[in-house]
A and B are shown apart, each in its own frame.
Chain A
């Protein structure tokens, strides 16, 4: 796949994690690492998303993780909260997974981001909002199950 063409290139130099892209899932990090992600399916990736951040705290289970900023994974040896300690948004995020979202979900995410920015009185990175929402969601299994039922799970 080389050359020069009229219209959009199909190449994706960043292992795109954007929700609007239908490219196969890829992984961020160095280009040489990006090949092993092709074999992972999405459900596995989503399961591992919560786990990866916990690895630093030797916690194996997502169920007992705390969606708060005062656990060990949110601080470094100097005691700085995560967002002040990291050099870039990917620091401490070893895995990138792609989210395929319904447009209505994407709209809600955008609206909610503005609300949360109002509450916190500062801008919030999209990746942080998503991971925080995922972790909080994983703590509320009943509500997540309700949403899944609404989509047709457990349908008799």
Chain B
């Protein structure tokens, strides 16, 4: 299984959009994809994919309940589908995740048991048989250093880093490298960076220079696609669906961006030796998303 966390220390670099579109690109090539978004705030990935109906429902079973060992239903029932992608939707309880995990840890320690608060997402996904059911797992944690982030990294062991091509973006990559190194050392795990994805590139010399500084592979550099991404959020869909169903005529520069998502997905699959069964021509939108 290919598993990765899409993470950037800086907010607003298109992290959730990149996650949704990579997931769509994996899925339309015939792979089984699960996304686990973990953002405690509204305006998140579940919203983008239109599966956030129960986010504020206190009665609803949710991932946090499963992570702290108080599920209200079966794990399988948490999973919803959109555009052929499976998602475990976010819930408002995610804002209290750290408190719940700390309480569980204290409880375990009172009983003399070891408890790793960063390993709970991995435990839930493993017990849920995710590796048997899916080819690709993508986590989308909030853009802050948090227990959400560490649970995501512990569960996926790999990172894809969207980068704003600016001095601020470069600093955030450096900060992330330090943060992930410390965490990996502390946990005794290995964390890999599959790719950095410069996003919102406008082609200035300054930006081009900054790209040179990135020490990770940058298989694709994605241009400024504000209009496309805003359209996706408005229609609650991936860029592939937006282009197919909501654009009155195809815009060449946007089709090229879709092709980049496809190529990036193939690149990431290759890193883990996975071959998609039906990869479309990059950027082709006449193909329906594989159910």
Residues of chain A at the chain B interface (Cβ within 8 Å)? 1-18, 20-22, 28-31, 86-90, 93, 96, 103, 106-107, 110, 125-127
Contacts and interface: CB of A to CB of B under 8 A. Distances in A.
A109 to B, nearest CB: 10
Interface in B148-197: 154-158, 177, 180-181, 184-185, 188-194
A86 B273 CA distance: 32
Given A7-B271, A21-B272, A87-B76, A14 B131 contact: yes
Given A13-B155, A18-B135, A2 B189 contact: yes
Contacts of B185: 2-3
Contacts of B157: 9, 11-13
A109 B130 CA distance: 18
25 contacts: A2-B189, A2-B190, A3-B190, A4-B177, A4-B193, A7-B194, A7-B217, A11-B189, A13-B3, A13-B156, A13-B157, A14-B126, A15-B126, A18-B131, A18-B135, A20-B275, A28-B131, A28-B132, A30-B126, A87-B71, A88-B127, A88-B129, A89-B128, A103-B275, A125-B133
A5 B126 contact: no
B74 A88 contact: yes
Interface stretch (B49-57, B117-125, B202-210, B223-231): B117-125
Contacts of B190: 1-5, 9-11
Contact of A89 (B129, B156, B273): B129
Interface in B232-291: 271-275, 277
B216 A6 contact: yes
Contacts of A15: 126, 131
A113 to B, nearest CB: 10
Contacts of A28: 126-127, 129, 131-132
A96 B1 CA distance: 15
A132 to B, nearest CB: 14
B277 A30 contact: no
B194 A13 contact: no
Interface of B: 1, 3, 30, 32, 71, 73-76, 119, 122-123, 125-133, 135, 154-158, 177, 180-181, 184-185, 188-194, 215-217, 271-275, 277
A114 B71 CA distance: 32
A8 B192 CA distance: 5
Contacts of B272: 8, 20-21
A17 B131 contact: yes
A7 to B, nearest CB: 5
B273 A126 contact: no
B194 A3 contact: no
A26 to B, nearest CB: 9
Q: Which of B119, B130, B177 counts the most A-chain CB atoms under 10 A from its CB? A: B130
Contacts of B156: 13
A54 to B, nearest CB: 20
Contacts of A126: 32, 132-133
A87 B78 CA distance: 11
B159 to A, nearest CB: 9
A107 B123 CA distance: 30
Contact of A21 (B128, B191, B273): B273
Given A3-B181, A20-B273, A14 B130 contact: yes
A4 B191 CA distance: 5
A79 B107 CA distance: 36
B23 to A, nearest CB: 17
B112 to A, nearest CB: 15
Contact of A8 (B130, B154, B189, B271): B271
A8 B184 contact: no
Contacts of A11: 157, 189-191
Q: Which of A11, A31, A126 has the most CB of B within 10 A?
A: A11
